[in-house]
Amino acid sequence: MKCLREFAGNAVVSGVVFILPVYLCLLLLLKAMHSLSGLVRPLATLLPPWFPAETLLSITMVLSICFLVGLAVRTPFGSVMRAGIENRLLQKVPGYYLFRSLLEQLTGESQGQVWKPALAEIEAALVPAFIIEEFEDGRFTIFVPSVPTPLAGSIYILAGDRVHPLDIPFTQAIKALSQWGSGCKDFIASMNSEKSVVPQGGDEKQTQSFTPAK
């Protein structure tokens, strides 16, 4: 019975972690559309009554505003403004920088180390994980996601020789996790290629063997 309660509790938490961000995004989108409906209503009356003009125009305006803001923050002045807002306001929101890094990884904009796919040695196994931060002494904070809900999981602090960064896209790692591990063979291939050594004066690669730490 205890195992059943723990399983049900973990399932509920995983579902909340997955649904809540989607729900909040939809809620903000609907709120923004409602705020702009008054602006687009005069234009919507010019179109046929059967056409959902007010809804479509509101969505278009919200997306246009997001697009313009996105362009603005890419300029030098916009980058300074964004940094100022983040340092004075948004950094007080728990988890803001972490989730911002996650979104940047999803959109392919981040080249940093945060949320970098990796394989971690835990007990006698290799476990798919994401690097969250690197310590000055070489240790890593890693996030080991659950399956098939990658946004829930466990946090570990491991020595550097037990964490193997992978040269694969973040989206590929998320896809493999959401498919119950199908595609993890690419993780091993990437790890082996990172461990390959090209001898001086030759083109052949010598791949080091891997033995998980006990």
Is 0.75 surpassed by the pTM of this model?
A: no
Report the SS3 class of residue 157.
strand
Which own/partner contact pairs does 30-36 have at CB distance under 8 Å and 24+ positions apart?
Answer: 32/58, 32/62, 32/65, 33/58, 33/59, 33/62, 34/58, 36/61, 36/62
Q: What is the model's pLDDT at position 73?
A: 76
Could you tell me if 128 and 163 are in contact, meaning their C-beta atoms sit under 8 angstroms apart?
no
pLDDT digits (tens, 9 = 90+) for 107-141: 555 555 567 888 999 888 888 888 888 898 889 99
- Contact assessment for residue 142 and residue 159, using Cβ atoms and an 8 Å cutoff: no
Tell me, what's the pLDDT at 201? 47
Q: Which strand ranges, in their side-by-side order, compose the sheet holding 163-165?
A: 153-158, 140-145, 125-134, 116-122, 163-165
- In whole angstroms, what is the distance from residue 124 CA to residue 191 CA? 17
Cβ neighbours for 205, distance < 8 A, ≥ 6 positions apart: 196, 197, 198
Domains of the chain by range and CATH? Answer: 2-92 (no CATH), 116-198 (2.30.30)
- Quick: pLDDT tens for 132-158: 888 988 899 999 888 766 777 888 999
More confident: 66 or 203: 66
